[in-house]
Amino acid sequence: MFSVRPEDKWAGLSKPAEASVAFTLCRVFQAAAAALSTAVFTRLMSTEEFGRFTVINSWLPIIMVLTTFGMSGGVFRQSLVKFEDRKDELAASASGVITVTILLFYGAYLLMRRQINEAMDLDTLIVTGLFLMSWAKVIFDFWANRKRNEYDHRPEVLLTMIMTSAELIVGAVAVICTDRYKAEARFLSIAVLSFAVYVRLFTGFLKKGRFYDKEKWEYYLKLSIPLMPCYLISTVMTQSDRLMIKELTGVSEAGIYGLGHNLAWMLCLFTGAIIYSLHPWIFKRIKAGELKAIGGTSYAVLTAVAFIGLGLVAVTPEALRIFAPEDYHAAKWVIPPLAVSTYFLFMIELFTCFAFYFERSLALTVISITEGLANIVLNYLCIRSFGWIAAGYTTFFCTLCYAAVHYLYMRHIIKKELDDARVLSLTVMSGITAAYMVLAAAMMVLYDHVLLRYGFILLGLVILFFMRDRLMHIVDAIRQDGK
């Protein structure tokens, strides 16, 4: 009987499959580091200090989208497929665009910093750090998307693991070394570290392409500016809850909710890795007219995302006991709805692939503005009436509606551009979604019944064991699609 060495199995994978495995392992490392970070900082910082850091961090994605128009997302990824022979030039030009836009927004901020600082409840140093970190993170996103497009996973995996470890160490040292401004020290130390490292990626871009290219700047701005409200509203949807909790109930409550949000959003480490590999793959399948391959792969990936989320929901009470003091344990009631929300956000990313490919940005903007405003209003009313825990359920409800609307728009695009091809089945996706929601609710009901809950977990593992051959068949099918 012959044994197969691990390196032979790895060598047998296609490039997309190899990259997906590598990115998944990297996300596992990031999730472990995030869990360790939670355990460390909830003990080094009070709930109020942790809440303060949560609020500062909540502003970062908003500033990133506002100042760069969300360019590093679908627009840049789509350009790498559309202009695949000019990838180095694209990265350099995109970096040039966002450098100029961030400087212009920062200049406008300096002119009105007193009013803006008061509205954000932050000082000039912290807001400057937000701008600095926004630039650094977007530069990294350009570089990472460039690597992912060619399934060159090794550089990104290595740099991500180094930076994840460095941010944890540098942040902990900064917090330990200060008595009063722990949240600010942690944030600024990470911002300076990110800028110092990622500026090297920026100079690398400029060695291979031009900072200013009129044609490419016009292309990126033409597609990105209409999409900016879409990205901004989507970001506000995921960040406004913590900002509102801080204003309506207090900084400590924002810290507790922030802990639950961080644990649930660790799922995004996995879904982000998947969607970054899935986006270019779907773009290439659409371009090649291989639409049938999209459905089977998407269903398998959705099922995997649901299983990962269900695993987190099932062990939430025990996870909180390990990672945080008792003051934070009330966060267990917001983790299940937030975990399901990450699933819906993943579905939205899947649906918007078609809008990005066919450059339908205006409708996405209208949809996002409508949904975002509804989320903000609902958050405000429910947090005032029912307390901070309600924010988790308003996020769940709004992302559910958001996903439904995006599905309908995807169907409209497919009907018009792809002759109404049957790409994704509503029946199959609804079945996966309903099963996930019911099982997540059941785990939540059983939070105070440990033996019964773990009995169901064991039953689920047994079912997975007996279904292992079928699951491996699905994995093999995905590998074959990637070849």
Q: Over the stretch 412-471, which tens digit does the pLDDT of each residue have?
A: 888 888 887 788 888 889 988 999 999 999 999 888 888 888 888 888 788 777 766 766
Classify 179 as helix, strand or coil.
coil
Cβ 92 vs Cβ 209: under 8 Å: yes
Q: What is the pLDDT of residue 85?
A: 67
Cβ 291 vs Cβ 423: under 8 Å: yes
Q: Helix 15-44 to helix 316-323 angle, to the nearest 10 degrees? A: 60
Cβ 301 vs Cβ 342: under 8 Å: no
pLDDT in tens, 145-174: 777 766 666 787 788 888 888 998 999 999
Tell me what the mean pLDDT of segment 121-125 comes to: 90
Token code pair at residue 305: 């995302």
The residue to which tokens 């699933």 are assigned: 343
Cα–Cα dist 319/337, whole Å: 16
Residue spans of the domains in the chain: they are: 13-482
pLDDT in tens, 47-103: 788 888 888 888 998 898 888 887 776 677 777 767 766 777 788 888 888 899 999
The answer to whether residue 343 scores a pLDDT higher than 80 is: yes
- The whole model's pTM is what? 0.69
Task: Tell me phi and psi for residue 262, to 5 degrees.
Answer: -65, -40
Cα–Cα dist 374/376, whole Å: 6
Q: What is the pLDDT of residue 471?
A: 60
Cα–Cα dist 97/216, whole Å: 9
